[in-house]
């Protein structure tokens, strides 16, 4: 059985025919080619596949692609404006928070969502925002720096 | 695999009646999708997310009503819940990651009936009811009777949960939910303890005490003998400690790869003791007497 | 050397390749899309130990959409292994753990693949299973590899079984010294199996090209190892294989080489591609990785130390049982390193250590980050605190009392040149507030030190090509997964060529074009590729200067390159654009190509003469223990490291912090668990608990300066040593907080609470 869905990803409209058992992760990666959505645990535990679903961060591996019909999705590919990286992306580079970089897209989405909610996050709010994102390379320490710098730059901007 | 997106409760219920055991309801999908990947695809998937108006939190004449499709995150961020049902807020706040809380629904958590399900022990002590629809009509199933075993509820394969109905606890009651897991929120509870405590008018004795235990039996349970040990008693340290010991005895934990049964009992005892003290403080502003 | 001497070294430039990573480009192995490729997958053993009676693939083969099914019958009868050839790419006759590959399928989709794997019928005859290495050594244990002889170096009359490696160390007269010591302390310790759990799943993809060659895409750390293994196992000449490395989402040694580190994916993928006559791509899901790929081996350690009343160590004896898993894998090497390290890195004039590396029916030991290091340091450094306690001495003072001196030896290092151990201890103690910080009830402070190997090992080369615009392309054999190739290496080349780092491109490994390399393992990226790239850049620079010398009418010795200009030193007006010289070179010699290599033997010889300066470290932690639940919270963590000269501070700190966090995971929660049949109980991330954000404190890294190492400009390896001290540092802090000595990892809430209750004498 198949299902037709329409959705918007990073501002672009897509129409597709899907198998209703498909996860949103597989659909975004394999059908639409958004490889910035990373696959790792496939069980909702690591956050590598985090995307914004109508503005909210979710693990795309535990969401049905069918549920995205009519939704607006933002992946990490949708953050930069032309060649200009989003301040969160730039902060990850500047602080050395990108080692292998595999967790990075998921982290960036979680942090962007956090800074969309609050300009000046507390340590608890940061912990809440990224506890669902595992990084195996950095020990999180440089990511703490990245979040701080991103927040400062975004505040300075507004 | 057959796949349906019913637009009404009635349509969903008739699909369940038609497909029976073969059908699988999917709400947020955080449990179902993982099962589909690692276990088996159901022969029929009934996605209830397109049924309108099943996501809400409403106060209604002494009750709080929560629609089955309400995401855990909505519960966590609802000022109404925070104010009227801090116990539920606490459980929602300690539930997995933000990403999962945005997706997982309260109804899914209830129907999954996992012994460690975060919302279950709190709803049990709140003596909530599950409002369910069957093809024959609506039923109100009290939480005390709802759970039959891991993954098993009175809903069976044909019932659709539509709402959780929670009678608001007395204003002067105090409550707390304590979760014990190696990694904190982003981990399945080894033990969960929910305490709801209502002091008497003098603020000395426990008028009503309810203790719910998660992850220590095939279903979430009430620690009945512990509750009994406290009811009507002055809240003194020795009484609390005795109740905590009883709670540990009330628990029927198993040993698995997360923890031994013995350890789970120790934790039940420790968290019950702590939970009673915190709930008492929340209710009366006082520490438990020495 | 002071930082001011350099223009880029010592600064933290943005990581090369950072932009594509934050932008979500599809650059990793898992993102690979090979036109026309079909999906490959592996059928793994359902028994931890069994003979294979028969395999029937007919039903699977007849499924529509199945392109190939392969078993051992389809492959040459060739075994592989690193220290012992004890393994087939696909099981032949016997399986030895529940991850052993038995057959493989190539199919048109994931769904067909799953179906086909289920349709392969394997008849097994179960054999007794042995999961504990100590039990496996006993006479009544089942034999895992009847055909493999016991190690030749085992002392005569040793009655053991299933031992695949033996390592020993003997200095002085430990028996006598122990007998004469004022105090002898003896303990046993245990560590558990952990999995590296890099986030990007392993892949392999193969295409049989029209010219008969094989192209293999891998996200592996040792592409040349993959090439030689595919060649050996499929009997294809090396020249017939090209291995291309994709970008890699973490490795930590777990993605070291394909086969001898036991994932074995690439030869299977190649076999499928040949039989299917189609390109094949294979992906391991995370649960499959946990049960089938390589791990950090569990160990049991008996350790005994004799000390004098004043706190001087006089003798050490130890015995190690190192659980290699079902095949020798990297076991003998990691086990041997662990054996050496059990003698400690303090002055120990008399020592004897025996290390037995043993087969069991479990996942195979790989070169996981600091192989053998944490397994040795947990016992050694916990034991140091136990001794200090018995002596009534402060743990810091006791350690400082036993620091070796330059010229002395420690295990694995025949002659020390300079010794930063004491300084790291003093700095760590100061930063954590040793003896000063006010600790609340149930809080405690702990310290632990570590060391790591340097120097000897395979060599490696580098090529630096100068483009006509004066930019440089660098070819090395090391791969990038957040390590030196795209942090330090471009800086070294830029520094030597006098160009901005943006003008340097470091290419990913293509075995047809890149210099051979043993693999991105052992903290050797900067040592090997850094030294080689530096010499290659200098070689290129010298060629450029020689060519410019004629035009500038100066001796090439008087020339320098600065800001993309070749100029006469001190007379900057006499200058030529680097681009012009590089372009002009085309008419003379073609492009300028610099070549350099790391000469392992020369470094060894120099270290033999002058001694070596291994990296040392001290970590200190403050923890709080919840006496009700056993939960341990790390409140403060300091990691002090001597890594010699620092090329890219941010990158070095990042390596240390990452290694530390990984090891904190092993200390507090990580563990691969088994049932009594050898089935892994926690294969997915739901149950295999890695530390999340809330468990890891902000790690305060301090880099100690002034002790140059064997790397370029005096650098030392930094990628692994951070893994060494954490379990002991935390265990020592727990002991300080609640007075219990935990001798087995993980220091999980249950284990901690159990120990507290036992100490209090509470009835369990
Ligand atoms: C990474 C991760 C972490 C998690 N952490 C936690 C945690 O900390 N605490 C916790 O309690 N849980 C946790 N879970 C489990 C899961 O998220 C919860 O059980 C969640 O509430 C399920 O809700 P859902 O909407 O996603 O349910 P679904 O997966 O859609 O459904 C769950 C079950 O309920 C049934 N169902 C759903 N709605 C109805 C209905 N209206 N009527 C009848 N049957 C219905 C489904 O058929 C299914 O059996 C975690 C899951 C993941 C993937
Ligand atoms: S891949 Fe989705 S959370 Fe790990
Ligand atoms: S940078 Fe590699 S996992 Fe985070």
B107 alpha carbon – ligand 1 mean position (Å): 8
Q: Assess whether C439 and C480 both reside in one domain.
A: no
Domain presence at residue B159: yes
What pLDDT shows up at residue C656? 97
Cα torsion through C718, A150, A45, C257, rounded to 10: -30
Within a domain: residue C219? Answer: yes
Residue of B nearest to C670 (CA): B182
Based on the fold, state whether residues C630 and C752 are members of the same structural domain: yes
The structural domain count of chain B equals 2
> Separation of A61 CA from ligand 2 center, angstroms?
6
Considering the domain architecture, whether residues B9 and B120 belong to the same structural domain is answered as yes
From B51, B109, B139, mutation site for ligand 1 pocket: most ligand atoms within 8 A of C-beta: B109
Confidence (pLDDT) at C764: 44
- Number of structural domains (chain C) is 3
Render pLDDT for A107-149 as a digit per residue (tens, 0 to 9).
Answer: 999 999 999 999 999 999 999 999 999 999 999 999 999 999 9
Instruction: Determine which helix (DSSP H) or strand (DSSP E) holds B161, and give its type and residue range.
Output: strand B160-167
Cβ contact (<8 Å) for B3 and A66? Answer: yes
Residue C262's Cβ-side half-sphere holds a number of Cα atoms within 13 Å equal to: 34
Q: Is B75's C-beta closer than 6 angstroms to any atom of ligand 1?
A: no
What pLDDT, on the 0 to 100 scale, is given for residue C455?
57
Res. A84: pLDDT tops 80:
yes
B271 and B206 together in one domain: yes
Q: Where are the alpha helices (DSSP H) in chain B?
A: 9-19, 32-38, 72-77, 79-84, 86-93, 98-103, 106-112, 120-125, 143-146, 224-230, 237-250, 261-284
Which pLDDT does position C1 carry in this prediction?
A: 40
Residue C270 sits in a domain whose CATH number is 3.90.1170.50
Q: Rounded to two decimals, what is the model's pTM?
A: 0.97
| b/e map C694-712, b = 16+ CB within 10 Å | bbbbebbbbbbeebbbbbb
* B10, B137: one domain: yes
Residues B11 and B155 in one domain: yes
For residues B126 and B234, membership in a common domain is answered with: no
- Do C114 and C254 lie in one domain? The reply is yes
* Higher pLDDT, residue B185 or B103: B103
Cβ–ligand 3 distance for A140 under 6 Å, the answer no
Where residue B79 sits, what CATH number does that domain have?
3.30.465.10
Task: Name the average pLDDT for chain C.
Answer: 95
Interface pTM, i.e. ipTM: 0.98
Mark whether C712 and C583 lie in a shared domain.
no
d(CA C691, CA C726): 14
Identify the domain containing residue C544 by its residue range.
Answer: 18-25+460-598
Same domain, B208 and B225: yes
B159 shares its domain with B180: no
Does B95 sit in the ligand 1 pocket, CB within 6 Å?
yes
User: Which of the residues in chain C have pLDDT under 50?
Assistant: 1-3, 763-764
pLDDT at C363: 96
The verdict on C418 and C485 lying in the same domain is no
Closest Cα in chain B, distance from residue A149 (Å)? 22
Nearest to C381 by CA among C308, C449, C305, C297: C449
C663 with C755, same domain: the answer is yes
C657 within some domain = yes
Of C17, C250, C699, the CB nearest to A136: C250
> Chain B 11-40, CB below 8 Å of chain C: which residues?
34, 38
Q: Nearest ligand to the C-alpha of residue A23? A: 2
Q: Do B29 and A59 touch (CB under 8 A)?
A: no
Same domain, B154 and B248: no
Residue C376 lies in a domain: no
The pLDDT assigned to C652 comes to 96
Domain annotation for chain A: domains and CATH numbers: 3-78 (3.10.20.30), 87-157 (1.10.150.120)
pLDDT of C259: 52
Q: Are residues B187 and B155 in the same domain?
A: no
pLDDT for the residue numbered C154: 96
Task: With beta carbons less than 8 A apart as the criterion, state whether C616 and C453 touch.
Answer: no
Q: What are phi and psi of C409, to 5 degrees?
A: -110, 155
CB contact under 8 A, A58 and B103: yes
| pLDDT attached to residue C607 | 87
Helix axes C488-497, C531-552, angle to 10 degrees: 20
What element of type H or E holds C101? Answer: strand C101-107
> Does a structural domain hold residue C81?
yes
C-chain residues near A92 (CB < 8 A):
18, 22
Q: Which of C238, C257, C292 is the last residue of a domain?
A: C292
Residue that terminates a domain, selected from B167, B187, B207: B167
pLDDT at C603: 86
Q: C654 at the A interface (CB within 8 A)? A: yes
Domain assignment present for residue B290? The answer is no
User: What is the C-alpha to C-alpha distance for residues C196 and C202, in angstroms, rounded to an integer?
Assistant: 12
> What's the mean pLDDT when you consider all of chain B?
96
Is C440 a domain residue? yes
- Is C155 within the bounds of a domain? no
The enclosing H or E element of C657 equals: helix C649-668
- Give, in degrees to the nearest 5, the angle at Cα B73 between B71 and B74: 70
- For chain B, say whether C676 makes contact (Cβ under 8 Å): no
Q: Is residue C316 assigned to a domain?
A: no
- Is B100 in CB contact (< 8 Å) with chain C? no
Note whether residue B289 is domain-resident: no
- Considering chain B, what percentage of its residues have pLDDT values greater than 70? 100
Judged on CB neighbours under 10 Å (0-12, 13-18, 19+), C173 is: middle
Rg (CA), chain B: 19
Residues B205 and B150 in one domain: no
Pair (C447, C467) in one structural domain: no
Say what the pLDDT of residue C484 is: 86
Helices (H), C409-530: 421-432, 488-497
One DSSP character per residue, C372-413 reads THHHHHHHHHHHHHHHHHHHT--HHHHHHHT---TT--BTTB
One domain, residues B186 and B276: yes
Residue B47 lies inside a defined structural domain of this protein:
yes
Q: How crowded is residue C550: how many other Cβ atoms within 10 Å of its Cβ?
A: 9
Domain identity same for B145 and B194: no
Q: Check which CATH number belongs to the domain holding B246 and give it.
A: 3.30.390.50
Query: Percentage of chain C with pLDDT > 70?
Result: 98
Q: Quick one: C506 and C624 in the same domain? A: no
| Closest-approach residue (CA) in chain B for C747 | B182
What pLDDT is attached to residue C2?
42
Structural domain boundaries, residue B107: 2-167
pLDDT digits (tens, 9 = 90+) for B10-65: 999 999 999 999 999 999 999 999 999 988 899 999 999 999 999 999 999 999 99
If asked whether residues C118 and C216 sit together in one domain, one would say yes
CA angle C11, C617, C702 (to 5 degrees): 40
DSSP C693-717: GGGS--EEEEEE-S---SSGGGB--
Of B167, B194, B216, the one marking the end of a domain is B167
* Residue C496's CATH number: 3.30.365.10
Q: Is B63 among the domain residues?
A: yes
- Residue keyed to tokens 């389809």: C74
Helix, strand, or coil here: C738?
helix
C246 and C118 in a common domain:
yes
Q: Of C292, C324, C341, which one is at a domain's C-terminal end?
A: C292
- Is A27 in contact with A65 (CB distance < 8 Å)? yes
CB C308 within 8 A of CB C393: no
CA distance C276 to C272: 6
CA distance C138 to C162: 9
Q: Considering CB atoms only, which of C18, C248, C661 is closest to A139?
A: C661
**Shared-domain flag, residues C111 and C246:** yes
The residue among B138, B167, B196 that closes a domain is B167
User: Which residues are CB-neighbours of C101 under 8 A, at least 6 positions away?
Assistant: C42, C43, C44, C45, C89, C90, C91, C264, C268, C292
pLDDT at C525: 84
Query: Which of C232, C261, C292 is a domain's end point?
Result: C292
The DSSP result for C265-330, as a single string, is HHHHHHHHHHHHTS-EEEE--HHHHHHHS-BBPPEEEEEEEEE-TTS-EEEEEEEEEEEEESS-TT
**Does a structural domain hold residue B97?**
yes
């Amino acid at each position: 059985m198949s299902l037709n869905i329409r959705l918007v990803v990073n501002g672009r409209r897509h129409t597709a025919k899907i198998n209703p058992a498909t996860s949103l992760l597989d659909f975004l990666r394999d059908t639409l080619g958004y490889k910035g959505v990373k696959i790792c645990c496939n069980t909702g535990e690591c956050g590598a596949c985090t995307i914004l679903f109508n503005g909210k961060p979710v693990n795309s591996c535990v969401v049905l692609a069918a549920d995205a019909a009519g939704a607006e999705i933002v992946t990490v590919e949708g953050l930069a404006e032309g060649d200009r990286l989003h301040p969160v992306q730039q902060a990850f580079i500047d602080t050395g928070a990108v080692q292998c970089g595999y967790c990075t897209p998921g982290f960036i989405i979680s942090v962007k969502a956090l800074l969309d909610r609050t300009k000046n996050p507390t340590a608890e709010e940061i912990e809440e925002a990224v506890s669902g994102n595992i990084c195996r390379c950095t020990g999180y320490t440089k990511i703490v720096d990245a979040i701080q710098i991103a927040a400062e730059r975004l505040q300075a901007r507004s | 695999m057959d796949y349906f997106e019913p637009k009404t409760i009635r349509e969903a219920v008739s699909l369940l009646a038609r497909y029976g055991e073969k059908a699988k309801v999917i709400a947020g999908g955080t449990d179902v999708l993982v099962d589909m990947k690692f276990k088996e695809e159901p022969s029929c998937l009934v996605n209830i997310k397109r049924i309108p108006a099943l996501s809400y939190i409403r106060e209604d004449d002494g009750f709080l009503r929560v629609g089955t499709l309400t995401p855990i995150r909505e519960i966590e961020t609802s000022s109404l819940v925070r104010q009227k049902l801090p116990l539920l807020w606490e459980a929602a706040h300690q539930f997995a990651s933000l990403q999962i809380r945005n997706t997982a629904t309260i109804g899914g958590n209830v129907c999954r009936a996992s012994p460690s399900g975060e919302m279950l022990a709190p709803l049990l002590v709140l003596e909530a009811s599950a409002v369910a629809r069957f093809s024959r009509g609506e039923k109100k199933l009290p939480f005390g009777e709802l759970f039959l075993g891991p993954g098993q509820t009175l809903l069976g394969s044909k019932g659709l949960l539509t709402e959780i109905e929670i009678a608001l606890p007395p204003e002067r009651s105090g409550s707390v939910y304590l979760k014990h897991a190696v990694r904190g929120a982003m981990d399945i509870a080894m033990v969960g303890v929910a305490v709801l405590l209502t002091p008497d008018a003098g603020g000395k004795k426990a008028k009503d005490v309810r203790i719910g235990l998660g992850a220590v039996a095939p279903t979430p349970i009430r620690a009945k003998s512990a509750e009994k040990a406290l009811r009507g008693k002055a809240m003194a340290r020795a009484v609390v400690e005795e109740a905590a010991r009883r709670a540990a005895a009330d628990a029927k934990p198993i040993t698995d790869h997360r923890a031994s049964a013995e350890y789970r009992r120790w934790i039940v005892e420790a968290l019950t003791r702590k939970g009673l003290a915190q709930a008492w403080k929340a209710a009366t502003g006082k520490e438990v007497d020495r | 050397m002071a930082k001011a001497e350099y223009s880029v070294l010592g600064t933290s430039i943005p990581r090369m390749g950072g932009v594509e990573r934050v932008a979500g480009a599809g650059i990793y192995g898992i993102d690979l899309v090979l036109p026309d490729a079909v999906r490959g997958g592996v059928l793994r053993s359902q028994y931890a130990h069994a003979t294979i009676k028969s395999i029937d693939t007919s039903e699977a083969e007849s499924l529509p959409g199945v392109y190939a099914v392969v078993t051992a019958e389809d492959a040459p009868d060739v075994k592989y292994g690193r220290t012992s050839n004890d393994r087939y790419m696909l099981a032949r006759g016997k399986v030895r753990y529940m991850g052993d590959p038995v057959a493989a399928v190539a199919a048109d989709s994931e769904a067909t693949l799953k179906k086909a794997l289920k349709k392969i019928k394997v008849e097994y005859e179960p054999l007794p299973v042995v999961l504990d290495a100590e039990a496996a050594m006993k006479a009544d244990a089942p034999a895992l590899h009847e055909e493999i002889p016991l190690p030749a170096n085992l002392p005569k009359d040793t009655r053991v079984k299933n031992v695949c490696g033996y390592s020993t160390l003997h200095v002085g007269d430990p028996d006598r010294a122990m007998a004469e010591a004022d105090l002898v302390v003896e303990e046993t310790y245990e560590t558990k199996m952990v999995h590296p759990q890099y986030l990007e799943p392993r892949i392999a993809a193969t295409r049989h090209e029209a010219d008969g060659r094989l192209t293999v895409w891998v996200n592996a750390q040792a592409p040349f190892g993959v090439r030689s293994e595919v060649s050996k196992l499929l009997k294809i000449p090396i020249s017939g294989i090209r291995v291309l490395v994709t970008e890699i989402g973490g490795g930590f040694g777990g993605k070291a080489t394909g086969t001898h580190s036991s994932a074995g994916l690439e030869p299977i993928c190649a076999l499928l591609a040949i039989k299917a006559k189609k390109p094949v791509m294979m992906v391991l899901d995370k649960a499959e990785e946990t049960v089938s790929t390589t791990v950090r081996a569990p160990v049991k350690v008996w350790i005994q130390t004799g000390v004098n009343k004043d706190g001087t160590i006089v003798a050490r004896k130890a015995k190690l049982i190192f659980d290699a898993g079902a095949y020798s894998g990297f076991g003998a090497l990691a086990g041997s390193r662990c054996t050496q390290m059990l003698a400690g890195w303090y002055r120990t004039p008399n020592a004897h250590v025996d290390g037995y590396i043993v087969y069991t029916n479990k996942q195979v030991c790989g070169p996981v980050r600091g192989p053998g290091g944490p397994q040795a340091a947990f016992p050694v450094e916990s034991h140091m605190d136990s001794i200090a306690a018995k002596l009534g001495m402060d743990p810091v003072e006791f350690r400082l009392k036993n620091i070796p001196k330059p010229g002395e030896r420690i295990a694995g290092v025949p002659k020390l040149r300079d010794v930063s151990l004491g300084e790291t201890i003093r700095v760590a103690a100061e930063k954590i507030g040793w003896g000063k910080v006010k600790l609340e009830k149930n809080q405690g402070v702990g310290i632990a030190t570590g060391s790591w190997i340097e120097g000897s090992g395979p060599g490696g080369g580098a090529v630096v090509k100068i483009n006509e615009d004066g930019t440089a392309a660098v070819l090395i054999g090391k791969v990038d997964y957040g390590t030196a190739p795209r942090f330090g290496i471009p800086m070294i080349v830029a520094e030597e060529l006098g160009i901005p780092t943006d003008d340097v491109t470091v290419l990913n490994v293509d075995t047809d074009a890149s210099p051979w390399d043993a693999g991105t393992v052992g903290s050797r990226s900067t040592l090997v590729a850094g030294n080689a790239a530096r010499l290659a850049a200098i070689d290129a620079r010298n060629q450029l200067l020689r060519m410019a010398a004629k035009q500038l009418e100066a001796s090439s010795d008087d020339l320098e390159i600065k800001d993309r200009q070749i100029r006469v030193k001190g007379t900057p007006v006499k200058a030529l654009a680097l681009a012009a010289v590089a372009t002009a070179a085309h008419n003379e010699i073609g492009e300028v190509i610099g070549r350099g290599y790391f000469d392992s033997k020369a470094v060894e010889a120099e270290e033999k003469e002058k001694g070596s300066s291994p990296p040392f470290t001290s970590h200190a932690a403050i923890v709080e223990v919840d006496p009700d639940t056993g939960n341990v919270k790390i409140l403060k963590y300091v990691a002090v490291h001597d890594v010699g000269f620092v090329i890219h501070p941010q990158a070095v700190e990042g390596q240390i912090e990452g290694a530390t966090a990984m090891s904190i995971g092993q200390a507090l929660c990580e563990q691969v668990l088994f049932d009594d049949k050898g089935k892994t109980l926690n294969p997915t991330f739901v149950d295999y608990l890695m530390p999340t954000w809330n468990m890891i404190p902000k790690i305060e890294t301090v880099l100690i300066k002034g002790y140059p190492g064997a790397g370029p400009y005096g650098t030392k390896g930094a990628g692994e040593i951070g893994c060494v001290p954490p379990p002991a540092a935390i265990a020592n802090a727990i002991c300080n907080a609640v007075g219990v000595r935990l001798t087995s990892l993980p220091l999980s809430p249950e284990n901690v609470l159990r120990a507290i209750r036992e100490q209090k004498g509470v009835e369990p």
